[in-house]
Structure 1
Amino acid sequence: MTPSSISPEALAAALGQFPPTAEQSAVIAAPMAPALVVAGAGSGKTETMAGRVVWLVANGFVRRDEVLGLTFTRKAAGELAERIGRRLQRLSDYERRGLLPHLGRLHAEGRLDVFPALEQAGATESERIAALEALAPVQATSDDGDALLDRPTVSTYNSFADGIVRENAVRVGRDADAVVLSESAAWLLMRRVVFASADPRLPERIERPSMIIDAALRIARDGVDNLVDLDALSAFADDFQDVLERPSDSARTTVYADVRTAAEKVGGLDVLVDLARGYDAEKRRQGVIDFSDQVAGALQIVRAHVVVAEELRSRYRVVLLDEYQDTSVVQTDLLSTVFGGTSVMAVGDPHQSIYGWRGASAGNLGDFAVAFGRDAGAAHYSLLTSWRNSSDVLRAATAVLAPLAAASPVPVGALRPRPGAPRGEVAIAVDPDVDAEADRVAAWFEGVREARAAAGRPTTGAVLVRSKKHMVRFADALGRRGIPHRILGLGGLLSTPEVVDVVSALRVIDDTRAGSSLIRLLAGPRWSIGLADLRELSQLATRLSRHDSALQPLPDAVREKMRTSADGDAGS
C-alpha cells in the first residue's frame, strides 16, 4: 500500500462496513502480485475479496472491468458479484462528489463514522445520501460518468473456460454453438456407445450395464480433468496383472483373494478406456461437448495460440480465484498458462476440499507459488478469525482437524473466535440407527426452541446430514414434534434408485419405445440381467418384430406400415 492510498479501514467506514481485521487489511491492500490466502471456515473470505476489488478500484490501480473473479457455483458467483457491485455503487457516490482523494483525512477526523452507525441502525438510503450531502454535494459528472456500466467479471470456472472456447472455436475446429451435454444426456450417450460396442471383452464383464456405463463415463471425464494419457492408462491395466505373479507371504496361498479381486477390477480398465475413446468420438460426431471439455478446450486454445492468452491478460489485470483447493489439474493448468506471473490472488482452505471425487486436490495450494509466481514466488496470507462459530465449536473443530493440519500442503493455523463470541456448547451422542439419531436431534432442538421462546427469542437452526436419503427421516422427526422446517437440496429425489425404478416402469407402460427405461428395469436389482443376455434379448426382440407368429418374414408392405407407426419396427 502506497503512503497516499486510501486505507482499507477508511474505505470500510465510507461504505458503512465493519472495520476489517489486521489480517483482512493485509489481504485487501496486498501488492498486485501472485498471492495465496488460506481462509478458514467463516473467516469472511467473500467480504475480504469484495473489499480487495473495491480497494483496488478506489486507489486507481485497476478499472472496474479489469477485474476477474472465478468460483465454482453460479450461486457463489452471484453472491460475490452482488457484494462487489453494491460496494462499487456506493464508491461511485464519493466519486461524483470529488471526495475519493479526501477519504483518508475524513476518516482520521472521524467524519466517516456516521456511515457504519447508519448501517447498523438500519437507516434508509435517503438518510445515507443526506449524510453524504453533508460532506459535499454532487459535482458535475465527466465523460466517464457511466463507470458503473464497466463492471467486474464474476463467473464460474467452467463458464469462463466455455467463453474462451466459444470465442475462439474456429481456431481449434470446433463449433462455437456446440451444446453442452447435461448429466443425463452424457449418460445416455455413453450408454449408446456401450451397447453399440462390438468389443468381445465386454460380454465377459460380470458388472451390470449401468455400472459399466458409469465407470466408462467417469474414465472419460476424469481423463480430461486430469490430463491423463489414455494409452498410458490402458498400459497400466496390463502392467498391473503382474501382481498375480508376485510371491505371497503364505506357503498355502498362491494369490490372496483381495489381490485377485483388485487385478480383476483393474483388468477392466482397458475396456473402459476404449469405451471412453468411443464416447469422445461420438461427441465429436454429434458436435456436442461435455463439461470437462470446456476447460480442456480452453487450455488447448491458449497453449496453441499465445495471442489469446495475451489478450486475456491485458483484459483482466487482477484475478481472484475462489475455493482454489477444489480446482482440478486442467483448471490449474489453464489459469496458470494465462495468468501466471500476474496479479492473481487465490483463496482456499485445504480442510474444505469437496471435489476430490472428480480429480481436485488440495495439494494444488502448495503448488500455487510455482504455478503462478514462477521464479518470483508468491505471498502468503491467512484469515483465521471465525465470525460464524462459538469458541467451543472452534475448539472441537480444531481437535478434529489436527491430523489433517499436520499433512496440509500449506501451513494452516487454528481458527480464533471473533471478539465477544459466546462459549457455545458441543454435545456428542451415538445412536443405534438413523431413526434414533433423528429423534434425538429433534428432541434436542425442541428443548432449545422452548428455552429461547421463554426468553422471547426466535430460533433458527440447521441439520446437516450425511446423505440426502436421510433428509426425510430427520424432517419426519421434526414434524412429529411440531417443529416447522423445510428441506433444502432435495432436488436429487428423482435420482434415488427406488424413484427412478418407478418412473422407468411408468415410462415403459406408457411408451413401448422407452428402451433406456426398459434396460434399467431389466438390468436392475429386480431381474439383474447381464450385458450378454441383454444383447441376446435385443436381437430376439428385433427378430420377433420382423417376423410373424410362424417366424416367417413379414411382407415388405407390412414392415413399412409398422415402421411408420408410432412404435416403429424394432421394438424396445
Structure 2
Amino acid sequence: MSTEELLAALDDDQRAVAEHLTGPLCVLAGAGTGKTRAITYRIANGVRSGVYNPQTVLAVTFTARAAGEMRSRLRDLGVAGVQARTFHAAALRQLSYFWPTAIGGQVPRIAEHKASLVAEAAGRLGLGADRVAVRDLAGEVEWAKVSLVTTEDYAAKAARTGREGAAGHDLATVARLLSVYEDVKNERGVIDFEDVLLLLVGILLEREDVAAQVRSQYRHFVVDEYQDVSPLQQRLLDLWLGNRRELCVVGDVSQTIYSFTGATPAFLTDFPRRYAGAQVVRLVRDYRSTPQVVDLANRVLARAGRHRSSAAVELVAQRPSSVPVRFETYDDELAEARDVAERIGALQRQGVALSEIAVLYRTNSQSEAIEQALADAGIGYLVRGGERFFSRREVREAILMLRGAVRSSADQPMPEAVRDVLASGGWSPEPPAARGAVRERWESLNSLVNLADDLHATRSADMAGLVAELDERMAAQNAPTVEGVTLASLHAAKGLEWDAVFLVGVSEGLLPISLAEGEDAIAEERRLLYVGITRAREHLQLSFARARTVGGRASRKRSRFLDGVWPDGGDGVHGGRLSRRAAARARTETFAAENPADVELFERLRSWRGEVAKAVSKPAYTVLHDTTLQAIATAKPKDLRQLAVLRGIGATKLEAYGPQVLAVVRGEDVDVQEWLSR
C-alpha cells in the first residue's frame, strides 16, 4: 500500500491529522469519529515517509485493551516496533530498567490492591473501617497522589476543590491516614501503582543523565484520551518531552467522566495556549451511530448550558437513517428488566448477535434484576468486571494446547488446525443444547476459533502468530468477543460500542446519582449519560421505573437531563407523564422499521380495535394496547392457548376478544357488530 493509498482511506479531517507529522497537534475527537484510525494512520504515515523511526514513537493510552488494539491496528498497516502502552506500563518499564543504576537493587514489589494497606492504616488511627469505608479511603489516597497533593497540603487543597474527606472522616483525619498509609507501605517494603509514576518522576528530575537517555529513546509522543490525564501523568509527560514539542494529543471533553479520580480536561482545553502555534483539528463525522442516536446525543449535550466546553464537538451523523430511539416508562424495576429481556430476545430473532447488545446502568447494584430477567428468558450474558476471560480454566488450557501444536501443525491451514486442537478440548462446530457452564465453556473456545479465522484472513497468520497474539492479548486483558449480552456500568462502558444499547434507570437519584452535589458534579453526570448514548450504533432504548419494587411507591421521576428530549409533547415538565400519542407514534414507527413482515397484520389489528372501541364507546388503548397488538402480529397465534400467553392478554380480554383476534390473524373479515351481538 502506497502512502497515497493509505491516506485515501481517511476523510478530510482524519487526513489532516495523519498528514501533520511534526510539531504540537491537538485533536478534538467526538464519539465514533474514528480517532484511533486517525492517529494510527498518522503513525503509519510518519513511519512510511521516513519522518518517524518506529522505535522512537511512544503512544500512550489509558487502558491495556486500547494499547493492544492500537498495536494490532499498526501491525495491520505493516508498522512494527512502535511502543503503545498505558502510562503505568510505560512508566514501570522505564522504572525497572533504570532503578538498579539510579537507586540500586530491584524495584520494590507493587501491591496489587490498597485495601489491606488502607485498612491497617485506619486501624492504627482507631478508625472504624468496613469494606465500603476502606474503598472510599483508598479512593482518596489515589486522588491525593495523582493530583500531586502532599500529606501536609491535603486538607487545604482538598477543601479548595470541594472535597469533604471520605468514609465520614473529616479532611484532617484523612490527612493523618495518608501519612500512616505511607508508613505501612514502607514497613511492608511495597509500593502502589501511583508510586510507579511518582518514583519515575523523581528519578527523571534528579538524574539528568537518565532523563537524557529516555528523551533520546522517545522522540515522538501520542496521548489518547487526553481529557482523562491527571496532574501526575501530565508531569511525567512533560519530563518525557523535555523542551521538545513533538506531541499529538487526542481527546473529547464531552467524555470527561473520571474527575473523581483526579482526571482533568484542563490540559486538553489549554493545549493551544501551552503550545503556541499548535494545530487543532476537530473530528466531527460520526461513523458509529445512526442519525437518531447522534441527534439525541447532541441534544442532551446542548442542554448543558454554560457547562458545555467550547472544545466540545457537535457530531454529524454519517450512517443512514434507521429506527427511532425508544423511551419507556415502567411501573417497577422488575417490569423494566423483563421488558428489556423481551426486547433483547426480539433483536436476537432479527439477527442481532447477543455480543452486539449491552445493558448499561449507573450503579452495579442495578444489574441484579437484569441478570435475573435474562436468565429467566434463557439469554446468555456477561457482566463486565466479572471473571476475566484469560483467567477461565478452559481458556488457559486451550492456549496451552495451541502453544503445543505450533510445530506439529505447520503443514495445516491455521484455522483448520485450531479447530482440530480445540475439538479435543470440548469445542464443536455447533453450540451445545445445554445452557449454563457447558454453553459458557463452548462460547469461550468458539471465540478463539473466530479469532483464528480473523487473523488468518487479515494477516495470513499461522499458529505461531495466533499464539503470539493471544500472549499479547493476555498481557493486555484484551479478550476476544464472547457471545452474550454485556452488562456494564456507564463508567465501564467507555471506549466500547454495540449495535444495540439499553440504558436503564435514567431517573433522578440514579442519573444524576444522588451523591452528585454541586454544578460540576451534575455536569459530569450529564456527560456520563452522553457517553452511554454514544455507545449505541443503531438500536437505543432509554428507560426508568417509577418504583423500585412491585407495588412500591411510584415516586421516581425521569432524569432532568432528558427534559425537552423525552417524548412528552415538549412540555419539558420534569418527570411529566408521557404523551400517549407521542409515545404510541414512536413505538409504532420502531415496530414498523424492525418488523416489516408483520406491519400489515399489525395495521389490520389496529383497524379492528378501532371498530371495537367505537362500538363500545371506549378509548382504543383500553381494548388492547399497541404493544399487545405488536406482540400478536409477531407471534401470529393459532389458538386461544397461544394467544393467552402473550403480554396484555388476561382472562377477561381473552374471553371478550380472543376469537375475533384469531379471526383477524387468519385474515378473515370480522363483523364487529355481529360479534358483539352474540
> How far apart, CA to CA, are the structure 2 residues paired with 1:405 and 1:490?
37
| Structure showing greater relative contact order (alpha-carbon pairs closer than 8 Å, 6 or more residues apart) | 1
1:88 aligns with 2:78: yes
| Post-superposition offset of 1:23 | 0.5
| Post-superposition offset of 1:299 | 1.6
* Structure 1 vs Structure 2 CA RMSD: 3.1
Aligned mate of 1:317, from 213, 219, 222: 219
Q: Give the match's secondary structure for 1:52.
A: helix
> How far apart, CA to CA, are the structure 2 residues paired with 1:389 and 1:264?
39
Alignment check: 8 A CA contact 2:21 2:46 kept? no
1:159 aligns with 2:89: yes
* 1:434 corresponds to: 333
* 1:193 corresponds to: 121
1:397 aligns with 2:297: yes
> How far apart, CA to CA, are the structure 2 residues paired with 1:40 and 1:353?
12
Alignment check: 8 A CA contact 2:145 2:232 kept? yes
> Taking structure 1 as reference, are residues 485 and 217 closer, same or farther at Cα in structure 2, changes over 3 Å only?
closer
Alignment check: 8 A CA contact 1:327 1:361 kept? yes
| Post-superposition offset of 1:413 | 2.3
* 1:34 corresponds to: 24
AA in 1 matched with 2:334: D
Moved more, 164-173 or 310-319: 164-173
Q: Give the match's secondary structure for 2:71.
A: helix
> How far apart, CA to CA, are the structure 2 residues paired with 1:68 and 1:264?
37
> Taking structure 1 as reference, are residues 168 and 377 closer, same or farther at Cα in structure 2, changes over 3 Å only?
farther
> How far apart, CA to CA, are the structure 2 residues paired with 1:39 and 1:318?
20
AA in 1 matched with 2:302: A
> How far apart, CA to CA, are the structure 2 residues paired with 1:295 and 1:316?
17
> How far apart, CA to CA, are the structure 2 residues paired with 1:28 and 1:439?
47
> Taking structure 1 as reference, are residues 235 and 318 closer, same or farther at Cα in structure 2, changes over 3 Å only?
closer
* 2:669 corresponds to: none
AA in 2 matched with 1:362: P
> How far apart, CA to CA, are the structure 2 residues paired with 1:404 and 1:312?
42
Alignment check: 8 A CA contact 1:57 1:64 kept? yes
> Taking structure 1 as reference, are residues 331 and 403 closer, same or farther at Cα in structure 2, changes over 3 Å only?
farther
Q: Give the match's secondary structure for 1:429.
A: strand
Aligned mate of 2:107, from 172, 177, 187: 177
* 1:539 corresponds to: none
Alignment check: 8 A CA contact 1:385 1:415 kept? yes
> How far apart, CA to CA, are the structure 2 residues paired with 1:351 and 1:415?
11
* 1:96 corresponds to: none
Q: Deviations over 1:152-200 (max 9, x none)?
A: 11111111122232233357647533111112xx211222222234xxx
AA in 2 matched with 1:434: E
> How far apart, CA to CA, are the structure 2 residues paired with 1:264 and 1:21?
48
* 1:219 corresponds to: 140
> How far apart, CA to CA, are the structure 2 residues paired with 1:482 and 1:215?
37
Q: Give the match's secondary structure for 2:296.
A: helix
> Taking structure 1 as reference, are residues 370 and 179 closer, same or farther at Cα in structure 2, changes over 3 Å only?
farther
AA in 2 matched with 1:284: N
> How far apart, CA to CA, are the structure 1 residues paired with 2:362 and 2:156?
37
| TM-score of the pair, normalised by structure 1 | 0.61
Alignment check: 8 A CA contact 2:60 2:85 kept? yes
Alignment check: 8 A CA contact 1:216 1:273 kept? no
Q: Deviations over 1:6-25 (max 9, x none)?
A: 98642256xxxxx2100100
**Total equivalences in the alignment:** 385
> Taking structure 1 as reference, are residues 342 and 307 closer, same or farther at Cα in structure 2, changes over 3 Å only?
farther
Matches within 5 A, 1:337-376: 337-339=239-241, 341-371=244-274, 373=275, 376=276
* 1:10 corresponds to: 5
Alignment check: 8 A CA contact 1:442 1:477 kept? yes
> Taking structure 1 as reference, are residues 313 and 87 closer, same or farther at Cα in structure 2, changes over 3 Å only?
same
AA in 1 matched with 2:112: S
AA in 1 matched with 2:115: W
Q: Give the match's secondary structure for 2:328.
A: coil
Q: Provide structure 1 residue ranges, at least 5 long, that are not aligned to the other structure.
A: 1-5, 14-18, 90-147, 241-258, 493-572
* 1:463 corresponds to: 359
| Post-superposition offset of 1:408 | 4.4
* 2:181 corresponds to: 279
1:78 aligns with 2:8: no
Alignment check: 8 A CA contact 1:220 1:277 kept? no
* 1:133 corresponds to: none
| Post-superposition offset of 1:222 | 1.8
Aligned mate of 2:373, from 471, 477, 485: 477
* 2:203 corresponds to: 301
> Taking structure 1 as reference, are residues 477 and 235 closer, same or farther at Cα in structure 2, changes over 3 Å only?
closer
> How far apart, CA to CA, are the structure 2 residues paired with 1:188 and 1:323?
31
> Taking structure 1 as reference, are residues 388 and 234 closer, same or farther at Cα in structure 2, changes over 3 Å only?
closer
AA in 1 matched with 2:177: L
Moved more, 470-479 or 457-466: 457-466
Matches within 5 A, 1:52-67: 52-67=42-57
Alignment check: 8 A CA contact 1:67 1:316 kept? yes
> How far apart, CA to CA, are the structure 1 residues paired with 2:309 and 2:87?
23
The structure that is strand-richer by fraction is 2
1:447 aligns with 2:346: yes
| Post-superposition offset of 1:409 | 4.5
1:292 aligns with 2:167: no
| Post-superposition offset of 1:470 | 2.9
Q: Give the match's secondary structure for 1:230.
A: coil
> How far apart, CA to CA, are the structure 1 residues paired with 2:60 and 2:312?
23
Alignment check: 8 A CA contact 1:219 1:273 kept? no
> How far apart, CA to CA, are the structure 1 residues paired with 2:82 and 2:198?
25
Q: Deviations over 1:91-125 (max 9, x none)?
A: xxxxxxxxxxxxxxxxxxxxxxxxxxxxxxxxxxx
Q: Give the match's secondary structure for 2:361.
A: coil
Q: Give the match's secondary structure for 1:489.
A: coil
> How far apart, CA to CA, are the structure 1 residues paired with 2:200 and 2:33?
33
> How far apart, CA to CA, are the structure 2 residues paired with 1:213 and 1:174?
33
Q: Give the match's secondary structure for 2:330.
A: coil
* 1:232 corresponds to: 153
Moved more, 343-352 or 216-225: 216-225
| Post-superposition offset of 1:319 | 0.9
Aligned mate of 2:317, from 407, 411, 417: 417
* 1:268 corresponds to: 170
> Taking structure 1 as reference, are residues 282 and 36 closer, same or farther at Cα in structure 2, changes over 3 Å only?
same
| Post-superposition offset of 1:426 | 0.6
| Post-superposition offset of 1:208 | 4.5
> How far apart, CA to CA, are the structure 1 residues paired with 2:292 and 2:278?
34
| Post-superposition offset of 1:405 | 7.4
| Post-superposition offset of 1:404 | 4.1
How high is the sequence identity, in percent, across the aligned residues?
26
> How far apart, CA to CA, are the structure 2 residues paired with 1:298 and 1:337?
10
Alignment check: 8 A CA contact 1:38 1:348 kept? yes
AA in 2 matched with 1:477: A
> How far apart, CA to CA, are the structure 2 residues paired with 1:332 and 1:434?
43
Q: Give the match's secondary structure for 1:411.
A: coil
* 1:248 corresponds to: none
Alignment check: 8 A CA contact 1:28 1:48 kept? yes
* 2:288 corresponds to: 388
> How far apart, CA to CA, are the structure 1 residues paired with 2:154 and 2:278?
34
Alignment check: 8 A CA contact 2:95 2:107 kept? no
Q: Provide structure 2 residue ranges, at least 5 long, that are not aligned to the other structure.
A: 389-678
Q: Deviations over 1:299-333 (max 9, x none)?
A: 22222223333322221221110111111111011
> How far apart, CA to CA, are the structure 2 residues paired with 1:484 and 1:266?
40
> How far apart, CA to CA, are the structure 2 residues paired with 1:213 and 1:430?
37
AA in 2 matched with 1:442: A
Q: Give the match's secondary structure for 2:329.
A: coil
Alignment check: 8 A CA contact 2:253 2:311 kept? no
| Post-superposition offset of 1:472 | 4.0
AA in 2 matched with 1:11: L
